Amino acid sequence: MALSIGIVGLPNVGKSTTFNALTKAQNAEAANYPFCTIEPNKAIVPVPDSRLEALAKIVNPQKIQYSVVEFVDIAGLVKGASKGEGLGNQFLANIKETEAILHIVRCFEDGNITHVEGSVDPLRDIEIIETELLLADMQTLEKRIERLERTAKTDKDAKDALEIAQALMAHIESGNAVRIFPQKEHESFKELNKELRFLTNKEIIYGANVDEEGLGEDNAFVLIVKDYAQKNGCEVIKLCAKIEEEMVSLEPNEKQEFLESLGASESGLDQIIKKGFEKLGLISYFTAGVKEVRAWTIRKGSTAPQAAAVIHKDFERGFIRAETIAYEDFIKHGGEQKAKEAGALRVEGKEYIVQDGDVMHFRFNV
């Protein structure tokens, strides 16, 4: 399961540099001019998880397999994108296919890097992007309302859907994102969103891109982004995309030493990957054997048979039981056998909701 996060922002804010560092592969051209990203670049990124290393120390497997998230580098939007300006609707459509958004915002001054709007102003930049997303949602919804108006005269379900669509349009026209629409739990809204995939209904993480000096105390630009995000119920992660890209080639211990020399305890990109995983509503459970220690990605709230299905559909079809040890118990007792002897191994049935970090072994018969 590799649900996707779209990286958006104005041209020249550090999106492609961020993408290069995220994917540890220099395959997104980063150039000092707008629209250097023409086609959306996609890459699967491992989710940093120290629990896997801790399990591997006990099990000593041949390899470690991490959970993953897909990031999509989408070309820079500009004012008027919803009307086709720049590369316009093509890229709005690319965002529609993602499940969450990483919005990179420039939070540093540099006369050598052109800003498409002529100056550095994080709040203005955020509002440009979010206005374009709102306008795109309005256009999409407007077309649907026109269809519903024709069918609502004879179809009760269409009439209900029309009422919700009209309420949503009024909500958007007031400048509000779909994600805070009060009637999101209404079935008609769920059907609309399933089909239309509203851009402003997606979870947003703001990536405040700073220069090296900005990695210490928050500068004025970062404080502006944090204030805006807090008011809108969103997360902010500070990073220096240029330095993150430079750290790609460093060994883990060298990277950690370098981060500490800059006054940072954790890579901004690692934080983004982990936060993105969480925003997508995903968790990991583990299998731990001599061949591999592996994290398996499932949606939060998945049952044991649903979790088993990500390994193989037959595991779900013939599910009998799940032998489960909490991660903390596995570490505390030093492995499966000792955890079992201590009574920490549980036998769970079909109704069990898998918890993040469960170490599992499935019994099945087909």
Strand blocks (E) in the chain = 4-8, 41-46, 63-65, 68-73, 100-106, 203-209, 235-239, 282-288, 292-299, 319-325, 346-348, 359-364
Of residues 123, 96, 101, 87, the one with CA closest to residue 11:
87
Burial of 170 (0-12, 13-18, 19+ CB in 10 A): exposed
Separation of alpha carbons 344 and 289, rounded Å: 18
Specify whether the CB–CB gap between 11 and 115 falls below 8 A.
no
Specify whether the CB–CB gap between 15 and 244 falls below 8 A.
no
Of residues 284, 295, 287, the one with CA closest to residue 336:
287
Give the SS3 label for residue 15: helix
For residue 207, the tally of other CB atoms under 10 A from its CB is 29
343 assigned to a ligand binding site: no
Give the SS3 label for residue 121: coil
14 assigned to a ligand binding site: yes
200 assigned to a ligand binding site: no
Q: Helices 15-23 and 268-279, interaxial angle, to 10°?
A: 90
Of residues 73, 27, 67, 30, the one with CA closest to residue 47:
67
What one-letter code names the amino acid at 167?
Answer: A
13 assigned to a ligand binding site: yes
17 assigned to a ligand binding site: yes
216 assigned to a ligand binding site: no
**End-to-end Cα distance, the chain:** 24
Q: Residue positions in the annotated binding site for ATP?
A: 12-17
Q: Residue positions in the annotated binding site?
A: 12-17
